[in-house]
Amino acid sequence: MFNCDLRVDITLSEKAANGRSQAFKAVVKIRLMQGEGDGGKWAHMDTRDFRLPQGGNFVILPTGILLKDGGGCFALLLGLGVPPSIGARGDLKIYTPGQRDYNSPTVQWRGNGKWEVLAKQANLPLKECPTTWGNMKKNFSKYGKGLGWELCSSSGQSLSGGMGGRGIEISIMSRLYMKPVDDEKGKKMVVFSYNGIGAGYMVPGFAASGSTSDFTNVGTELTQGNLPLDEPLRPEELNGMCQVLSLTFGAIAGPGAGFGGAASAMGVIFGVPAGLAVGAFKACAWIAGPVASVGKAGANIGAVLQVGSVSLL
């Protein structure tokens, strides 16, 4: 996965008169943002040239990278390899706006040009914030764009164990529930399955907890991360690897082992490449609510970072 900045120098047409020629050019900077598959999105970095498309998807071909504009093909960047190399150059071919019929016989369509790679980054961490969790915190306070879906409830079971305040937690057969922020026609609540494993701080040494979607929960709207997503968001785009920060605070009645309850909050980070904390993710949200627990009597406190996967049911 990569983000890549390019300079494209396009000759749209050329006018010849009195033995001299004048080229009509469009010189802009664009950014390619690769997703998890064989493509991604592209957009203008500076002020858009009105003669060119605003942006769109791109696909990786054996001959280069093909930029699309929503209604068809826009340009083929010939010889642009993956991952791109800074300083690489090559030719391009324009498909649209397309060859035109000009009123003047001295003007001819050209539709060609050059491209040059200016900069690239793998997974593009946000500036001054190199970790996925740091990205998530900044996303809520500054960068995040609302995606129109709210993480509204959760259910499932988890097992945790360890000693000395450290341990491992496993979440099995869990569910995450999302609903549209607005009651838009045709949008219904969607459910994701979630399984994950993680490590962190916990007291006591062993506990089991569970919750159902009937428990009252409070959630936040999903905000977009720094990886490309369709607009509007399609829930299935969130399938794949994720990270979950699980925070628990409560108590278990004793003596010995017993039952108890706790308040739980989960920060869910969707679309984390290979589950790694490399600073790239698609979207994130918080959900908080009560859980029931069983284990050693005393305080029931935990802060665990899990790595897992979600799948739309």
Strands (E), 183-282: 190-203, 206-211, 218-219, 221-224, 240-270
Q: Give the tens place of pLDDT for each residue, 220-272.
A: 888 888 777 777 888 898 998 888 888 777 666 666 565 666 677 888 889 88
Q: Between 62 and 124, where is the model more confident?
A: 62
Among 45-49, 204-208, 235-239, whose mean pLDDT is lowest? Answer: 204-208
**pLDDT attached to residue 311:** 92
Identify the pLDDT of residue 124: 43
What token pair was written down for 191?
Answer: 């459910």
Which whole number is the average pLDDT over 190-208? 77
169-191 pLDDT per residue, tens: 788 888 999 998 876 656 788 99
- With cut-offs at 50, 70 and 90, classify the pLDDT of residue 192: very high
**In this predicted structure, what is the pLDDT of residue 123?**
43
Rounded Cα–Cα distance for residues 166 and 304 (Å): 9
Quote the percentage of the chain above a pLDDT of 70: 70
CA dist 34 and 232 (Å) reads: 18
Q: State yes or no: pLDDT of 113 exceeds 80.
A: yes
For residue 35, pLDDT beyond 70: no
Which residue, among 220, 238, 313, has the nearest Cα to 281 in the 3D structure?
Answer: 238
Closest by Cα among 12, 195, 8, 220 to 100: 12
Query: Helix count (H) and strand count (E) of the chain?
Result: 1, 16
214's tokens: 């009937």
Q: Contact, 180 vs 271, CB < 8 A?
A: no
Give me the pLDDT at residue 255, please: 62
